[in-house]
Amino acid sequence: MVVGDEDRSLLMGVAYRLLGSVAEAEDAVQEAYARWYALPDGHRAEIASPVAWMVTAVSRVCLDVLGSARSRRVRYVGEWLPEPVSAAAWWTSLAGVPGGPDPAERMALDESLSTAVMVVLETMTPAERIAFVLHDVFGYRFGEIGEVLGRSPGACRQLAASARRRVREAPRPVRAPGRVPVVEAFKAAWQSGDLGALVALLDPEATVVVDGGGLVSAATAPISGAERVAGHLLEVHRRLPGMALERSTVNALPGLVARDRAGRAAAVVALDVGSGRVRRLWVMRNPEKLTTWGA
């Protein structure tokens, strides 16, 4: 089996959407490769689609991880959010790979990568999550998904339908360029400490969720209401003197990175924008989930 960038990108894309963690996704992909090369040569030669076999293997590994992850997250300090990824994560899109998806398919892939959708995925059962990601995002048949979950195609269809309803009920991310001016204005207001401008740019029912993992100072419960959210952001501004904000791609959509005076990423912020205002903010402060954002 010759593994190209497109194959590895596919496997990482599946694993990250299933687990919400880059490190765990990398481990799952590595385990799938170990299982592939552990097969007898004759057995590997009989497999018609090695990539499909690998996707099945990765999904099975992720199913096991998701089972244990639920108990770990019950003990997690504060709110748990998926690890944010930047445009530098080579596997987040197949755009640069020959034979990759067309623009419409790439848009669907990017939307499924958004923090808004990733947060919804976290509310699903492991079986629902796998059925939705493999079918609705990557186009696998329910018969193939049944081989991962050990269920009938009809049962997998029902799982995907249940997951799909959850995604439909959640506010959908607004794609650029409509959200870019809002993100830029929000960045300027936060950077300058302008309370009035921040409140005006926030939806009255805006909510901020912060993941500090118990390792840094962070709100341990969601904060709601434009004035309370704005006040929280200004408190962050006060606690990080010299904080510099830069617009960046966060999970395939425009977001913000807050850096300290040394240039280290102190926070990565994913924004949900609708009707010209910021509706939700997901702020990653856990340093263990910021390692890929560099200095």
109 and 88 in a common domain: yes
Give percent of the chain above pLDDT 70: 90
Cβ atoms of 117 and 111 closer than 8 Å: yes
Boundary (domain end) residue, out of 169, 190, 211 = 169
CATH at 113: 1.20.140.160
Among residues 147, 169, 191, which one ends one of the domains? 169
Domain containing 33: what range? 5-169
What mean pLDDT do residues 98-119 have? 72
pLDDT for 96 = 41
Instruction: Please report whether residue 174 resides in a domain.
Output: no
Interval 267-285: pLDDT, tens = 999 999 988 999 999 999 9
- What was the pLDDT predicted at 178? 76
d(Cα 50, Cα 79) in Å, to the nearest integer? 38
Does residue 229 belong to any structural domain of this protein? Answer: yes
- How far apart are alpha carbons 6 and 8 in whole angstroms? 6
Tally of domains within the chain: 2
* 37 domain residue, yes or no: yes
The amino acid present at 294, given as its one-letter code, is: G
Q: What is the mean pLDDT of the chain?
A: 89
272 and 224 belong to one structural domain: yes
Instruction: Report if residue 21 sits inside a domain.
Output: yes
Taking alpha carbons only, the member of 236, 231, 230, 234 closest to residue 217 is: 236
Tokens linked to 2: 């010759």
Q: What span, in angstroms and rounded, lies between the C-alpha atoms of 275 and 174?
A: 9
CATH of the domain at 264: 3.10.450.50
In the structure, what pLDDT confidence band is assigned to residue 141 with cuts at 50, 70 and 90? Answer: very high
Range in 16-30, 41-55, 174-188, 217-231 the model is least confident about: 174-188
**pLDDT top residue among 239 and 181:** 181
Is 99 within the bounds of a domain?
yes
The reply to whether 112 and 207 lie within a common domain is no
pLDDT, residue 87, reads 84
Question: Residues 254, 121: one domain?
Answer: no
196 and 286 belong to one structural domain: yes
Q: Is residue 123 part of a domain?
A: yes
> Quick one: 227 and 110 in the same domain?
no
pLDDT at 75: 79
- Do 44 and 67 reside in the same domain of the chain? yes
Domain boundary among 146, 169, 192: 169
| Torsional sign, CA 10, 13, 17, 22 | positive
Q: Are residues 146 and 227 in the same domain?
A: no
Residue 1 scores a pLDDT above 70 = no
For residues 237 and 159, membership in a common domain is answered with no
pLDDT at 29: 95
Nearest-angstrom CA–CA distance, 130 and 48: 23
Is 154 found in the same domain as 13?
yes
The answer to whether residues 186 and 160 belong to one domain is no
